[in-house]
Amino acid sequence: MTSRSGRSARSGRTTTGPGRVTSTSTATRRPSRTGSASRAPWTSSPDAPRHIQADPGTWQVRAVNHTPAALSAVTVTARCYDLSGRQLGRTQTQKLTVAPSSTTPAFQVQAVAGSALHLVRLELRDNRKQLISENTYWRYATPADMRALTRMPRTRLTVSFDASSVATVTNRGSVVAPLVRLALRDGKGNRVLPATYDDNYFWLLPDESRKVAFTWPKRLGRPRGLTVTAEAYNS
């Protein structure tokens, strides 16, 4: 099984500058244990001190704690979704404790039937059910399975941008919005560069929203007519 992952870095940051996009969690292609190529996640930044991740070769899920304090009584959850946002198979969940500066294995994400190309959504929550880390992978058996993306119905995204420079992006369609890409723009429609986003290139389920904070150099001030645009692969 091969995987790719749309960027959904709840803890990561994406910096945009002229002609380039870089990420703290940009991954390199490597052979998986199944012998097929896989891309490591773009979703939960490996620089985040506490995060959830899976090995795309084995689908072993691990909770990672790069802090000096134990991560106690956390819950790891995995759900799979088809491209319409319908859950496939059962929800997998496990409670565990992660020692300081260590990782703890949870479960392996089970194979599911019903969609050759599907999403694997991982979550790590504390004992108050507050989200610590989220990670979304896309999983498929053969490269031909990726053609399902080109056959997806179109979706519609809405964006609001408040005075604190936080955008709220919502998928208003009836299907998944893959690889949602944001851009900070001035009143003339030009991109504001350089700018830093705390999330980008993520996936949204139908009716799901995400908040993304933006920063840019103080020397630019606050450009007139500042707004945020959002595009998905199928929007």
> Domains plus CATH for the chain?
2-151 (2.60.40.10), 157-231 (2.60.40.10)
More confident residue, 36 or 80: 80
Q: What is the pLDDT of residue 48?
A: 87
What percent of the chain has a predicted confidence (pLDDT) above 90? 79
Task: Give residue 24's region: left, alpha or beta (phi > 0; psi -120 to 50).
Answer: alpha
- Let me know: does 45 contact 14? Beta carbons within 8 Å: no
Task: Tell me the pLDDT band of 73, cut-offs 50, 70 and 90.
Answer: very high
Q: What is the pLDDT of residue 43?
A: 47
pLDDT in tens, 196-224: 999 999 999 999 999 999 999 999 999 99
> Across residues 149-171, what is the average pLDDT?
97
- Whole-angstrom Cα distance, residue 172 to residue 137? 21
What average pLDDT does the structure give for the chain?
85
pLDDT in tens, 11-60: 445 544 332 222 223 222 222 333 233 333 444 454 589 999 999 999 99
Q: How many CA atoms lie within 13 A of 46 on its CB side?
A: 11
Q: Is the pTM of this model over 0.85?
A: no
What percent of the chain has a predicted confidence (pLDDT) above 70? 80
Q: Residue 149 phi/psi, 5° resolution?
A: -65, -35
- Whole-angstrom Cα distance, residue 111 to residue 208? 24
- Would you say residue 4 has pLDDT above 60? no
Task: Tell me the pLDDT band of 77, cut-offs 50, 70 and 90.
Answer: very high
- Would you say residue 182 has pLDDT above 60? yes
